[in-house]
Amino acid sequence: MTTEDLTRGAATRPDSRTRADDRYVFHSWSAQGAISPLPVAGGEGAWFWDEDGNRYLDFASQLVNLNLGHQHPRLVAAVQAQAARLATVGPTFANDVRGELARLIVERAPGATAGDASRDRRWRVFFTNGGADAVENAVRLARLHTGRAKVLSAYRSYHGNTATAITLTGDPRRWPNEVAPDPQVRHFLGPYTYRSAFGARDDAEEGERALAHLREVVSLEGPGTIAAILLETIVGTNGVLVPPDGYLAGVRALCDEHGILLVVDEVMVGFGRVGEWFAIDRWGVVPDLVTFAKGVNSGYVPLGGVVIAEHVAQTFDDRVFPGGLTYSGHPLACAVAVESIRTFEDDRILERVRRLGDELIGPRLREIAARHPSVGEVRGLGFFWAVELVRDRETREPFVPFNASGPAAAPMAAVVAAVKERGVWPFVHFNRLHVAPPLVTSADDLEHGLAAIDAALDVADDHIGKPRTKEGS
Ligand SMILES: Cc1ncc(COP(=O)(O)O)c(C=O)c1O
């Protein structure tokens, strides 16, 4: 299944309220004639509903961006108050909310509270409109700072749909875009213990071998030609691949050895998804550049950016940084982000994510996995999990083939439909259901959503002809 499959409704909707969308809106990542997006009428907290009044628990946080849920009163009020005060201002002017947000982000940047004491803790922030342009500008910064052109990224990755970002993207969304790729991008294999390309038996071995592979790619490409290694701290859409302990520290050391910048893409995992401001804090590693978007303000107004280590930012103190955007640091977007960070703190969201991830989501998913022969592995952290489906647990043959579409993806579509029938909206990619609810989802709603997945997995078990294991056996 493609990512956009998850925005599809079950049937065509001739309703006059959505006819204009059908007729005039050109949708993302789709054959325009083949889709029928669900018309969403409203939302509140972890729930949204369609124009027919069907309610869904948003286990995808839209596109894993709605960290504080739909229509959060504090975020809505922040947009309204800022709109009444100063609705827009050009990026060439200084602006109070933009400055305040940059300060709040820098105070929470990697290593600000823990980690490698030998590193400079000073940062600055360049604001963009979303994730892809954050990645574009991080690469621009790295190339100009190092004077080198090449950038390495993982095959299993998504980094956005603009020219360099889609070339950096390893997943099949890159393929049709390679008519005009960034010529200086190379890919490598990151760690993925469950499907190790390196024959590893456990996380420790996988981490070491993936690192050895990356070291070899660096030496074969020419260390002195490489500006940056860019990776998702936890690979998101392509599998919720949590790196083995030691892997990120190893990449950091490899970069340091060769004057390569380490860029972490935290567009999906930043701002609380795994219970840290930035996921990389889990491992105490300090990168040179961090991209963010989505969860920074739950997408109420588009916003992204790059957190820039001082030693890189200084390169542009006397030299012009050749990049900019009309809406860089848009005050409406920044005002929501400031309010979002304050809300995180007042409501102790990071602690909540860690606790419920460890005590509820993880254990419940492991129980579900034990019951269903179609589940190969569950993995994740905080409010960010994947349920990987297989045809056979022994061989680990994926439930549907890699990048399947049409009839080949039908078994997965049936499972997804069964989840949606139970009023839960999952995130779907290939042979995986991802669990990525808003970070404010109540424990009862989490139980409800996980129970829906549990029940829907019977469809997958039936498909492979292996019924669920009886309770307690
Ligand atoms: C890790 C990562 N990087 C970059 C992007 C691109 O962000 P945007 O869609 O805001 O351009 C995404 C989007 O899903 C992402 O998950």
What pLDDT digit, counting tens, does each position of 130-149 carry? 999 999 999 999 999 999 99
Average pLDDT over residues 392-413: 96
The ligand 1 atom nearest the CA atom of 269: 1
Confidence check: pLDDT of 464 > 90: yes
Taking CA atoms only, the protein residue closest to ligand 1 atom 7 is: 131
195-222 confidence digits (pLDDT tens): 999 999 999 999 999 999 999 999 999 9
Taking CA atoms only, the protein residue closest to ligand 1 atom 16 is: 268
The ligand 1 atom nearest the CA atom of 161: 11
Q: How far is the CA of 139 from the centre of ligand 1 (A)?
A: 15
Q: How many CA atoms lie within 13 A of 454 on its CB side?
A: 18
Q: Are the C-beta atoms of residues 172 and 403 closer than 8 Å to each other?
A: yes
**Degrees to nearest 5, angle at CA 183 with 181 and 189:** 85
Q: How many CA atoms lie within 13 A of 343 on its CB side?
A: 24
64-121 confidence digits (pLDDT tens): 999 999 999 999 999 999 999 999 999 999 999 999 999 999 999 998 755 455 555 6
Average pLDDT over residues 227-247: 98
State the residue for tokens 């290593």.
111
Q: Give the sheet arrangement for strand 150-154, strand by strand.
A: 123-128, 304-309, 289-292, 261-265, 226-232, 150-154, 185-188
Rounded CA gap, 9 and 24, in Å? 17
Mean pLDDT for the chain? 94
Mutate to test the pocket of ligand 1, among 232, 267, 297 (most ligand atoms within 8 A of CB): 267
Confidence check: pLDDT of 293 > 90: yes
Q: What is the structure's pLDDT at 205?
A: 98
Q: Residues with Cβ within 6 A of ligand 1?
A: 63, 130-132, 135, 158-160, 232, 236-237, 265, 267-268, 293, 304
Mutate to test the pocket of ligand 1, among 2, 294, 296, 298 (most ligand atoms within 8 A of CB): 294
Q: What is the structure's pLDDT at 355?
A: 98
Confidence check: pLDDT of 388 > 60: yes
Q: How far is the CA of 236 from the centre of ligand 1 (A)?
A: 9
The ligand 1 atom nearest the CA atom of 135: 4
Q: How far is the CA of 14 from the centre of ligand 1 (A)?
A: 32
- The confidence band for 468, taking pLDDT boundaries of 50, 70 and 90, is confident
Rounded CA gap, 174 and 321, in Å? 28
Average pLDDT over residues 456-460: 98
Confidence check: pLDDT of 38 > 80: yes
Q: How far is the CA of 232 from the centre of ligand 1 (A)?
A: 10
Q: How far is the CA of 364 from the centre of ligand 1 (A)?
A: 28
Q: Are the C-beta atoms of residues 221 and 187 closer than 8 Å to each other?
A: no
- The confidence band for 469, taking pLDDT boundaries of 50, 70 and 90, is confident
Percent of the chain with pLDDT over 70: 93
Q: What is the structure's pLDDT at 119?
A: 53
Average pLDDT over residues 42-56: 97
The ligand 1 atom nearest the CA atom of 232: 1
The ligand 1 atom nearest the CA atom of 129: 10
Q: What is the structure's pLDDT at 162?
A: 97
Q: How far is the CA of 268 from the centre of ligand 1 (A)?
A: 7
Taking CA atoms only, the protein residue closest to ligand 1 atom 8 is: 131
Average pLDDT over residues 406-418: 97
Rounded CA gap, 38 and 25, in Å? 13
The ligand 1 atom nearest the CA atom of 162: 11
Taking CA atoms only, the protein residue closest to ligand 1 atom 3 is: 159
The ligand 1 atom nearest the CA atom of 131: 7
- The confidence band for 3, taking pLDDT boundaries of 50, 70 and 90, is very low
Q: Are the C-beta atoms of residues 308 and 126 closer than 8 Å to each other?
A: yes
- The confidence band for 367, taking pLDDT boundaries of 50, 70 and 90, is very high
Q: How far is the CA of 424 from the centre of ligand 1 (A)?
A: 23
The ligand 1 atom nearest the CA atom of 293: 10
Q: How far is the CA of 142 from the centre of ligand 1 (A)?
A: 19
Confidence check: pLDDT of 15 > 80: no
Q: How far is the CA of 237 from the centre of ligand 1 (A)?
A: 9
Q: How far is the CA of 50 from the centre of ligand 1 (A)?
A: 25
Q: How far is the CA of 16 from the centre of ligand 1 (A)?
A: 32
Q: What is the structure's pLDDT at 12?
A: 47
The ligand 1 atom nearest the CA atom of 160: 6
Q: How far is the CA of 110 from the centre of ligand 1 (A)?
A: 19
Q: What is the structure's pLDDT at 16?
A: 59
Average pLDDT over residues 371-376: 98
**What letter represents residue 63's amino acid?**
L
Three state DSSP letters for the chain = CCHHHHHECCCCCCCHHHHHHHHHCCCCCCCHHHCCECCEEEEEECEEEECCCCEEEECCHHHHCCCCCECCHHHHHHHHHHHHHCCCCCCCCCCHHHHHHHHHHHHCCCCCCCCCCCCCCCEEEEEECCHHHHHHHHHHHHHHHHCCCEEEEECCCCCCCCHHHHHHCCCCCCHHHCCCCCCCEEEECCCCHHHCCCCCCCHHHHHHHHHHHHHHHHHHHCHHHEEEEEEECCECCCCCECCCCCHHHHHHHHHHHHCCEEEEECCCCCCCCCCCCCHHHHHCCCCCEEEECHHHCCCCCCCEEEEEEHHHHHHHCCCCCCCCCCCCCCHHHHHHHHHHHHHHHHCCHHHHHHHHHHHHHHHHHHHHHHHCCCEEEEEEECCEEEEEEEEECCCCEECCCCCCCHHHHHHHHHHHHHHHHCCEECEEECCEEEECCCCCCCHHHHHHHHHHHHHHHHHHHHHCCCCCCCCCC
